[in-house]
Structure 1
Amino acid sequence: MLKRTYLLSSIALIALPAAAHAQEAPQPADDAAGNEIVVTGTAGGGVSRQAAAFAITSISADAIEQAAPNSTADLLKVVPGVMAESSGGQNGANIFVRGYPSGGDAEFVTLTTQGVPFFSPPTLSFLENTQLIRIDETIARVEAVRGGTGALFANGQPGLTVNFVQKEGGPEFEGLVKASVTDFGDVRGDLRLSGPLGDNTTFMVGGYYSSGHGIRNPGFTAEKGGQITANIRHDLDKGSILVFARYLNDHGQWLLPIPVIRDGDKVRQFGNIDPGTGVIAGPETRLSVLPDGTRADLGDGRGAKLINLGTNFDYEIGDGLQLRYRASYLKGDADTTGLVPASTAMSAADYAASFGSTIGSLTYVNGGDAVANAGSQQVIRAGTWIVRKQIEDFTNDLNVEWDSGNNKFTLGAYFSDFSSKDQWNLGNIQLLTAENNARLLNLTLADGRVVTDRGFTQGSFFNVNAAYDGREYAFYAVDEFQITPELRFDAGLRYQHYKATGTLENNATVADADGDANTLYDQNVAVLDGTFRNISYSKGAWSWTAGLNYDFSSSVGAYVRYNRGNTNPFFDNLRDGIRVSPRVDNFEGGVKVRTDMLSLYATLFHTKFEGLVTTVIQNGAPQASIGGARSTGVELEGQLRPVDNFTLAFSGTWLNAKYRDFFTNNGATDLSGNRVQRQPKWQWRVTPAYELPFGNDGKVGVYSTFTYIGDRFSDTGNTQSLPHYFKIDAGVTVDVNRALSFAVTADNLTNEIGLTEGDPRTLGQNTAEVLNARPILGRSFRFSAAYKF
């Protein structure tokens, strides 16, 4: 009710008699002089990229199409300093930034649309925020700021801030219809319409719908849903007002580690589970009634069903004085259902031996037939995990800017009220054949003990029933001073106060549910016991930054910057009794070159971290590692244009990130000196592209992207190494004329087997031949046709 009141108040503010140009108004495209305007990481109406004293990547709609991302998170692969693992499917990404240590999800990534966060916490367990938005034809560009001024704006998170800028209507009515199909059978349709609603009012509306089983085919429709986005802008004498709305209802299969054979740095296929297209889930595992009676459907996968409303406007109070306001309201569900490996693949005989016995009988649950050659049958254990989240967020940002010529001063206030109601049921482990689209098994030991019931070897091992609420209040002040025509200085500070409360039901363990020691499947079951506890946290912290930018010429510039940022313990940390508040100190400097032939942006950074928490669910419960780290790195991106119609785009990162005073096992094990998990020392991308014009308006484009990801460690203890891999993508576009176009894109042309994750729930598997890991998606092709009118 309170958040609805906030939203109504925002709408009332929009109705003020005067409004002006919003921060996210359409900006000029990149040009030869380097005057591309970026708005993310600024207090006001934007700054040219050449003049910005921070590292930012701007991805245009054309660049998005060429990148052909498999998911929202997959687009971030083009951003230097970012390691985006999109092998988990549309919604199961892990995103890491500049050596910032974390165990998964996207802990140091803030997502905004039209300049305002749509869900203020950067991440929660089983919810990274790319799950809450999709890339479609309504996106004009995406801007990504690393470090820099991120500690001051939006939610004050100092890692990566990504802003999705919507397309808007113009003076002419226009539209686009697009159809796409993959070689594995998924289909998608996109539509966008825009134009005038009057002399001073424009609109845009568009979205997509898609359906299919996905490249890792589980034998049922696993990818289904769509998104629709609309906005209206009204121009007044002194500015404009923008109101937008977005509805998302989309889910896809949560892709998890599968068995592979590891031989040194080589990775090979295990059994009939193809590393690029195989999956354990199948028709037999899709529908189940869990041991506690809960019904589960793997077809629900991971996704979101939500509504997001927002506005951008400002008011010109007087000459040089601007009032700006941005707001967002989001409400919906972000649920996860998946089949999570609980063991490596082994023979059924070895599994029976783990109980100190041999096989009495091994049968298929579906049909009851005995398994032939039971002792040698390869089996794997995997659990059906269900996580339900009802989320709500109201965020708004109000600032006043005074521009006196060479000096621009901004004073602002930020407020966010957000909540999450969680219901988890983790565990529910089943015995399966270790094969593609696995079958359910029942096992009875030779000594009479019964291991399974309907395939289940174990019930739940961890449950959550919780209701969390969080509030953030902040104010910030920023001063930008053009000291000379060549030298620009900016500095700012932010104070943020965070308060979180929650009510959680306690877990208890039932040692033997039916009292029969011979039935092993119902022992040590976690249950919610009907008692509750409360959590509460309240703390404030200061962040600040200062930067200098110097233009040696109109084509060459350089900058230096320092910033200190803070983040807050997430709901999940507080639930587990972890109350540390991470602090980040970042030093960076960069060189920017922009000529007709070359665009080059190079950044050197050094970052110090304190009070970091990395958590994984291991042995049935969250296990935390806490401490600090140091990272030093170089980011490089740019484009070479040596001749007409040919470009060579490139980006790369060198990163040296290690833990420092970092402890696990309740402080008993010091991991200092280990490499920060999941982030390679080296990664780079090179994309050559050539366009051949024909006729009056036609052209053919050919491009390919070569990507290298260096070796990494999957865990904080550096016990699971992940070998380097090299991936090739390609595409061909044909613009028949200004209206009709066709495209074909190829992902992973050489069908490379690259691992992005080991098994965080079973550590220390490096010496085993067979292990669980999550490979990148295999070779696939997408065909599309678009018509513009």
Structure 2
Amino acid sequence: MKKHFLLITVAPFALVAPAMANETVPAAPVVSNTDAKPEGQDQKAPAKKGTEEVFSTGVAKGRDRLDSATSTSALRASEVDKIGARSISEILRDIPGIRAEASTGEGSANITIRGLPIASTGAKFLQLQEDGLPILEFGDIAFATADTFLRADLNLAAVEAIRGGSASTFASNSPGGIVNFISKTGDTEGGAVQLSAGLDYGMRRVDFDYGAKITPTLRFHVGGFYRDGEGPRATGYNSTHGGQIKLNVTKEFDGGYVRVYAKYMDDVTPAYDITPIAVSGTNLKPVYKNIAGYDVRHDSLFSKNFQSQLTLNGQNQPVRDDVTAGQHPIVKSIGLESKFEVAGWDLTEKFRYADMSNHYMGIYYAQFVPAAAMPAAFGAPGGSLRYASGPLTGQTVTNPTTLNGNGLGALMMLADTDLHSLQNITNDIRASKVWKLGDNDLTTTVGVYSSRQTIQSDWDWASVLSGISDNGDAALLDVVTPTNIKVTQDGTLRYGAPTPGQFRRTYDLATTTNAPFASVNLKIGGVAIGGSLRYDFGKTEGTVFGADLGGGRVGTVAKDINGDGVISVPEMAVAYTPARGAPVDYNYGYLSYSAGINWRIAEPLAVFARYSRGGRANADRIQFSPLVSTLDGSMIDKDAAVDVVHQAEAGVKFRNDNLTLNVTGFWAKAEDSNLDSTTGQPLLRDYKAIGAEFEGSYRMGIFSITAGATYTDAEIVKDVLTPANNGHTPQHQAKLIYQVTPQITTDKFSVGAVFVGTTGSWATAANTLKVPGYTTTNAFVQFRPLDKVTLSLNAANLFDVVAITAIDDAVIPAAGVARAHVLNGRTISGSVRFDF
């Protein structure tokens, strides 16, 4: 019925169809013709700023950034190509105010903005959009974050980001901000083919795109990529393969246009997640370094000797899952978008149906111990270790203290998660009109947003024992008692989580969101005063299954999972999905508002101030917690259904032909009802943050530089479940993050670097173990020997810095090896591009 409601909502507009032109096709010079042209023709000194820079994401109507009381940034496609980002989260690292922990590969990144917390994984308070609509309604779905389903290729025209401000009222569940990835639409004819390869890592890739006019009023654009290779870290196998293709067709007419678009993505990339790192010193002054025989920047816990794993699927049937699957998102989407005029009103309509799924295979939890201690630690005092995979299978590890040169073993919890359906149906319709009040303009906007997000997943986890080795060469380990009884089976300690019955879950949920919204903006000379309202009301319903729900549900059974006729030790307590689930059935509603004033003091100068209130509804993250009743599915704590964010900001903007400067002060207060990413335990916290943000650019001849910096002082105001954390700094929160990009550009070449850095942070909310800061450097050279031919060399993390984004331990572990999340080390790629 909910799906029918959405289809009925869009049906009257399907013939004249799709979306907010102002948000989907940004006007020059934000994107400008430079991004639609073949890139080989776009490498002169950056075009001078015009009198306007139209920005349209997260606002009622696109307008010059100096006339809007918002904090915004935009990256052109040509700049994205230069910075050498290997993933969406690495692109986001180059946007002021955004903290993106790009350590997991091409998906599942932790992303936040302006001091709002990262308590769990994903992007809770920041929304990622593609062409003006959210990729997922909730950006922190477990093992299916929004960046997992998005790829940057030659289809990309620009990236727009709004921080705070009206993001609260012009999108649902996005109080912190919006980042919109905007596609080319064929308005400039031509295309390109680009061939790329990793020079010091395994990557082969081909990209293409082409756009043209079919008739004077009908145009199209098509593009995509395919790649394969081992990837930026050693796994021992071809862990990266797949790609995507996107197509759109646009029909223009007097007063508007109609666009139809589609996307198919099928891409496999590794989920690096946890990696071991040696740590010594003290908690306040720790010293981190590589363990012997393993490099955190270039190695992973995956191995060519561990490529499949027995488990029970969601129907409790034995299956052998592919460990090399990594993150395997599949997206099949189709959308409509339109703009037209009716009785002086500009109507924009956008609709998208996306059939999405993902198979996540990563190491979600690990415990690192000396290999010699593993028999005693895992149920076989006085026992021994045997190789359970690889060329030495069945042989005894004769000297565990020298195993792989480091003498270490790992208990690894394999987060084998099938996300069968993340179907997303979204519709946004709005109407705007500019009224003349004497010499002044009054702009009014009204609209309705509707979406339905499903979450259908099975957690089919397993726990294995392994050595730690470089080059993807580790082997699984069996623990054997002195009487020759194996405590493990082919390296598997548990068919489930290390604690029997824990984290064996099934989710079958759907959340429907509806939100009417309206705004008004009055422009009196150089002063613009505006306000907007949005009311979100939604319903989450479905069923969840798992022994974690309690109530006598049994989470383990004895089962001959490998079919050999013998119940081994691990098969005595196989994780099992109980037949009796728990209902989920609750409604929520919340009001968002935003009000601001902007004064264009002079052509190059403006000042602004804004106050906003927004919210973020909670979906799967609060299930299996005391917040939701297992009897009737209602919210026990009604307030936990929605986390509210209050924000204030004030700033100064300056822009002339060669110099742009933006300085903004901000304050934020946020609630968070969540599950802690390091402990898996529920949390209820209130946070506050205050800070300042700088963004600027300068151009002089062939030289240009862009820079950004954000200073944040954040605090846990109240931790309901752990009051000892009150007054502490939130985990992962640095005082300062910054980006600097100097470059030289001529007709024949471009050369430059991207410096991105952060000061230190705390590993956990306990504020006991420090995580050091770092600065990474991406360098690029582009050479154009012939017209329409570009040769490029790009080095990410040029100086091979050990950049730790997070540590999962509250103190230095007794074994001296911490659970770390680290950015990739140096990767150098080369490419040749042919434009036509």
| Shorter-chain TM-score tier | over 0.9
Q: 1:309 aligns with which of 329, 334, 346?
A: 334
Distance 1:361 1:283, change over 3 A: closer
Distance 1:273 1:19, change over 3 A: closer
Asked if the contact 2:83/2:779 (under 8 Å) is kept, the reply is no
Distance 1:176 1:368, change over 3 A: same
Output the TM-score relative to the length of structure 2. 0.88
Distance 1:624 1:207, change over 3 A: same
Match of 1:459 in 2: 495
Number of equivalences: 770
Q: Aligned runs of 1:405-554 on 2, under 5 Å? A: 405=436, 406-426=441-461, 428-436=462-470, 437=472, 438-446=474-482, 450-461=486-497, 462-483=503-524, 485-507=525-547, 508-510=554-556, 520-522=569-571, 525-554=574-603
d(CA) in 1 for partners of 2:297, 2:23: 43
How far 1:198 sits from its partner (Å)? 1.0
d(CA) in 1 for partners of 2:355, 2:682: 30
d(CA) in 1 for partners of 2:239, 2:376: 33
Matched residue SS, 1:335: strand
How far 1:266 sits from its partner (Å)? 3.4
Asked if the contact 1:188/1:211 (under 8 Å) is kept, the reply is yes
Counterpart amino acid of residue 400 in structure 2: A
Q: Aligned runs of 1:647-666 on 2, under 5 Å? A: 647-663=704-720
Asked if the contact 1:119/1:330 (under 8 Å) is kept, the reply is no
Q: Deviations over 1:201-228 (max 9, x none)?
A: 1110001111111121211111111111
Q: 2:804 aligns with which of 752, 755, 775?
A: 755
Matched residue SS, 1:169: coil
How far 1:623 sits from its partner (Å)? 0.6
Distance 1:414 1:453, change over 3 A: same
How far 1:523 sits from its partner (Å)? 5.5
How far 1:525 sits from its partner (Å)? 4.2
Match of 2:670 in 1: 609
Matched residue SS, 1:73: helix
d(CA) in 1 for partners of 2:276, 2:651: 43
Matched residue SS, 1:736: strand
Distance 1:565 1:375, change over 3 A: same
Identify the range of structure 1 (8-17 vs 111-120) with the bigger mean alpha-carbon deviation: 8-17
Asked if the contact 1:601/1:638 (under 8 Å) is kept, the reply is yes
Identify the range of structure 1 (544-553 vs 162-171) with the bigger mean alpha-carbon deviation: 162-171
Identify the range of structure 1 (66-75 vs 362-371) with the bigger mean alpha-carbon deviation: 362-371
Distance 1:66 1:16, change over 3 A: closer
Asked if the contact 1:262/1:768 (under 8 Å) is kept, the reply is no
2:313 matches 1:273 = no
Asked if the contact 1:605/1:633 (under 8 Å) is kept, the reply is yes
Distance 1:363 1:59, change over 3 A: closer
Asked if the contact 1:227/1:249 (under 8 Å) is kept, the reply is yes
d(CA) in 1 for partners of 2:822, 2:398: 30
d(CA) in 1 for partners of 2:366, 2:756: 32
Distance 1:774 1:13, change over 3 A: same
What percentage of residue pairs aligned between the two structures are identical? 24
Match of 1:700 in 2: 749
2:662 matches 1:627 = no
Distance 1:763 1:335, change over 3 A: farther
Matched residue SS, 2:24: coil
Identify the range of structure 1 (720-729 vs 367-376) with the bigger mean alpha-carbon deviation: 367-376
Counterpart amino acid of residue 323 in structure 1: L
Match of 2:500 in 1: none
2:131 matches 1:82 = no
d(CA) in 2 for partners of 1:591, 1:329: 40
Q: Deviations over 1:471-525 (max 9, x none)?
A: 0111111001002x211111011111011001122322338768xx996534654
Asked if the contact 1:20/1:316 (under 8 Å) is kept, the reply is no
How far 1:311 sits from its partner (Å)? 2.1
d(CA) in 1 for partners of 2:676, 2:368: 21
2:363 matches 1:331 = no
Q: Deviations over 1:625-660 (max 9, x none)?
A: 21201101111111122x201011111111111101
Q: 2:398 aligns with which of 372, 379, 386?
A: 372
2:780 matches 1:731 = yes
Identify the range of structure 1 (648-657 vs 730-739) with the bigger mean alpha-carbon deviation: 730-739
How far 1:294 sits from its partner (Å)? 2.5
2:704 matches 1:637 = no
Asked if the contact 2:223/2:245 (under 8 Å) is kept, the reply is yes
Counterpart amino acid of residue 556 in structure 2: V
Distance 1:466 1:706, change over 3 A: closer
2:211 matches 1:203 = no
Asked if the contact 1:382/1:432 (under 8 Å) is kept, the reply is yes
Asked if the contact 2:6/2:450 (under 8 Å) is kept, the reply is no
Distance 1:668 1:523, change over 3 A: farther
Matched residue SS, 1:637: strand
d(CA) in 2 for partners of 1:121, 1:341: 23
d(CA) in 1 for partners of 2:17, 2:137: 30
2:444 matches 1:395 = no
Distance 1:62 1:387, change over 3 A: same
Asked if the contact 2:29/2:50 (under 8 Å) is kept, the reply is no
Counterpart amino acid of residue 820 in structure 2: A
What value does the CA root-mean-square deviation take over the aligned residues?
A: 2.5
2:813 matches 1:783 = no
Asked if the contact 1:21/1:238 (under 8 Å) is kept, the reply is no
Output the TM-score relative to the length of structure 1. 0.93
Q: Aligned runs of 1:677-692 on 2, under 5 Å? A: 677-691=731-745
Q: Deviations over 1:223-260 (max 9, x none)?
A: 11111111111111222112211111112000022211
**Unaligned regions of 5+ residues in structure 1, if any?**
none
Counterpart amino acid of residue 258 in structure 1: T
How far 1:14 sits from its partner (Å)? 2.6
Counterpart amino acid of residue 310 in structure 2: V
How far 1:109 sits from its partner (Å)? 1.9
Q: Which has the higher contact order (CA 8 A, sep 6+)?
A: 2
How far 1:13 sits from its partner (Å)? 2.0
Q: 1:382 aligns with which of 412, 422, 429?
A: 412
Counterpart amino acid of residue 399 in structure 2: N
Counterpart amino acid of residue 325 in structure 2: D
d(CA) in 1 for partners of 2:349, 2:465: 55
Identify the range of structure 1 (326-335 vs 501-510) with the bigger mean alpha-carbon deviation: 501-510
d(CA) in 2 for partners of 1:104, 1:296: 24
Q: Deviations over 1:168-202 (max 9, x none)?
A: 1136x411111110121201111111111112111
Asked if the contact 2:716/2:727 (under 8 Å) is kept, the reply is yes
Match of 2:382 in 1: 358
Match of 2:111 in 1: 95
2:201 matches 1:152 = no
d(CA) in 2 for partners of 1:271, 1:553: 61
Matched residue SS, 2:728: coil
Distance 1:187 1:19, change over 3 A: closer
Counterpart amino acid of residue 697 in structure 2: Q
Counterpart amino acid of residue 320 in structure 2: R
Counterpart amino acid of residue 818 in structure 2: L
2:372 matches 1:348 = yes
Matched residue SS, 1:274: coil
2:25 matches 1:29 = no
Counterpart amino acid of residue 278 in structure 1: D
Match of 1:263 in 2: 280
Identify the range of structure 1 (248-257 vs 699-708) with the bigger mean alpha-carbon deviation: 699-708
